[in-house]
Structure 1
């Protein structure tokens, strides 16, 4: 009698060897890198979903305010995450070239740079919080505006803490140590969720409860991450005295990747923020539908987002060895795997839509709109999302930061913003038109990045 299990195991290993093994890394190393990031992303997104559901219990005004400010938070937080990404890429390339001393120096400088950026951004937005909200969301109801103001100031206070946490996590991912990243993330996010349950669900503190839980959790996350690299990690060899000294040679390399990406994040998320103002014009129910739809579609992105993060380390280490063949192979494999994960996730989640609606306590009149938004996204993502987002992460890891950033800016502002306004407001398709414009922009981005990948300019930069 033929045993099926050994045959399946053998075929699985052959497939993994074929697509996820190269001279730089083997499939076991790649999987060991991806799995903790995958678990981390799943936890983060489920917690975001749960938090949105909890704040929904505080009413439509609260969930609309949180949705508005979160779009601004993403816009701002991604600036210093971009700088941390620059650190990840350079750390990964030094790791690939086996230069341990420069790995440590680069990680330390990345933490210093991100701290400075976050403090400046936090101070600026706190000082100008009301003019900022009036400029972006001045037409919203008064109760929504007041909730948004409280949440924005609280978020700004937490920026430096999450910035340092992200810089440490980025450095650890650069050297392939994703398990401690997962542990640190679980600590911070479990704290956040536990406090949300206590302050929002039990004590009914609404947006103020959300602010307190966010600040406390991010302080704990920052302290834990610094403690880990200071006392328990030998690869990064972090010392406070080195963090206080700015090394402009290393900083220049980090900024070569980080600044174009930061500019991209500013203008790309600025475009998303502008489309949010279109949705504000459509009313509070449209804002609520948008917030819930965003939370649900994030579930589809758990796997692909993990690959987008993981590929920075994989391609970075390949480029540190100057192994272009390996880099090309891994990029193609990651894009294919990302699309497969989308198909699997859609097949699991779409039948669960009614249960998700009960979880969010969403008004009956917007449930059909939410389903349409989720459905069109589920159809488009397997084909369009991976070339539009996994591929530019890979190109950035190879040092091709200027091209990826300029492309992202142009497609956002020349396509998504303009067509979003035309479809959503001018032609009257509402929030569905805004989302269709977003999906169309994915297609344009993907075509451009695939064209770039077929050439040889993306790997011409030598950073280390």
Structure 2
């Protein structure tokens, strides 16, 4: 057994050196960054998968309501993550340049900025939750709308907690400390799942139980993350007194990356929300099929999502050292590895579909539709997803945030929204048409970002 493992290591080492080692980072450091992110993403997606399955026990109306509001949640939480990503990029570049003093200051300011954003947004959404739901989901059935109202208000209460958690995690990823990110994520997500089992499966509290578990889990996650960076972390040196002081010069750099990305997330996920309004018109069954199909798509994306997050740290540190050769090499390697992971995931998940679908207890008439949608992404993702999502993460890590944001917005609104409406509603292909438009949008995005990557403008921004 030991001999077999030794032989595998000896064969793998040349490949690892060839594709994942350079002057900036070697493959051991790369693996140390990627593996905790992979485990983190696996837990996030699997727990989301289980949570969707658990809420399915409360009926199609509950699944539809949670799916609808989760689109809005993703829309808003991604704004916090976008600002946190601005911190991650600047922290990574300062780490690459060896300026640890600025690493600490940048991380602290990023956490402050994200906290302020989250409190503002959560307050506004709570105040205007009724008109917001009426605009987005006014055509939904009454029981779906009632559940959506409860879930939205509860989610808004939890925004500041998840925002602080994401800001801390983003700063830690910037310096390559992904192990504590993994541990903190496990604390929050395992707590969330245990509470879901308690409130939804055992006490049958439905959407109210889901809300309670989300708020409590995010409070615990935020508390754990703050305790860690105040008491135990020796890289960021977070001090509450320093966080209360606004440093405009640092915030400008963070916002140079964060604000275009935040605007992109607002309009990109706004497009997804608008797409949801098409699906509402198609009825509760279509909404349920869409929600469950998204859960399957996320299963495929576990590994590639981890690589997309890792690319920000890796490319950011390469650019901090002014090593564009390594930045190009590692971006290509991560994209290639992502495609391999998609194929492996498809080989595992597709044959298990008959077993996995039973977890959701969907109405029999939509089981075939969900399988068709799952098969579409299983085939398309290895070729299209990585260029569409890992590539812009790498470009953004080099400071090319304006281009990536504009390109993403145009492709989203012209293809996923407009084409989705034409295929799904006008041409009456229904939910399959909306789903196909998403895949077409991946292809166009990938072509745009590949063209940018071949040039030199994407790494010409000097941030640190």
Same fold per superposition (TM over 0.5): yes
Q: Deviations over 1:379-427 (max 9, x none)?
A: 0000000000000000000000000000000000111111000000000
> CA RMSD for the aligned pairs?
0.7
1:50-129 map, 5 Å:
50-129=50-129
Which runs of 5 or more residues in structure 1 are unaligned? none
The CA distance in 2 between the partners of 1:263 and 1:5, in whole Å, is: 48
Q: Distance in 2 between matches of 1:382 and 1:50?
A: 25
Deviations 1:336-363 (A, max 9, x none): 0000000010001000000111111111
Map of 1:289-304 to 2, 5 A cutoff?
Answer: 289-304=289-304
Rounded Cα–Cα distance in structure 2 between residues aligned with 1:456 and 1:279: 41
Counterpart position of 2:269: 269
Structure-1 residue corresponding to 2:328 = 328
Q: Give SS of 2:319's match.
A: helix
**Residues 1:247 and 2:264 aligned together:** no
- Cα deviation digits, residues 180-209 of structure 1 (max 9, x gap): 000000000111000000000000000000
Q: In structure 2, how many angstroms separate the alpha carbons of the residues matched to 1:65 and 1:9?
A: 49
1:305-351, Cα deviation, whole Å (9 max, x unpaired): 00000000000000000000000000000000000000010001000
Question: Which residue matches 2:446?
Answer: 446
Q: 1:370 is matched with which residue?
A: 370
* Residue correspondence of structure 1 range 15-414 to structure 2 within 5 A: 15-414=15-414
Rounded Cα–Cα distance in structure 2 between residues aligned with 1:283 and 1:42: 31
Corresponding residue for residue 459 of structure 2: 459
Question: CA distance change for structure 1 residues 4 and 227 in 2, over 3 Å: closer, same or farther?
Answer: closer
Structure 1 residues 1-47: Cα deviation after superposition (integer angstroms, max 9, x where no partner):
xx765443222000000000000100000001000000000000000
- CA distance, structure 2, for counterparts of residue 67 and residue 350 of structure 1: 23
Cα distance in 2 for partners of 1:101, 1:257 equals: 20
Distance 2:8 2:54 in 1: 43
Cα distance in 1 for residues equivalent to 2:445 and 2:92: 26
Q: Aligned equivalents of 1:414 and 1:4: distance in 2?
A: 52
Q: Distance in 2 between matches of 1:446 and 1:429?
A: 25
Unaligned runs of 5+ in 2: none
Q: Distance in 2 between matches of 1:226 and 1:21?
A: 33
TM-score when normalising by structure 2 = 0.99
- How far does residue 285 in structure 1 lie from its aligned partner after superposition? 0.5
In structure 1, what is the Cα distance between the partners aligned to 2:97 and 2:420?
45
**How many pairs are equivalent?**
462
Q: 5-14 vs 377-386, which deviates more?
A: 5-14
Partner of 2:8: 8
Q: Deviations over 1:277-307 (max 9, x none)?
A: 0000000000000000001110000000000
TM-score, normalised via structure 1 length? 0.99
Q: Give the SS at the match of 2:282.
A: coil
SS at the partner of 2:25? coil
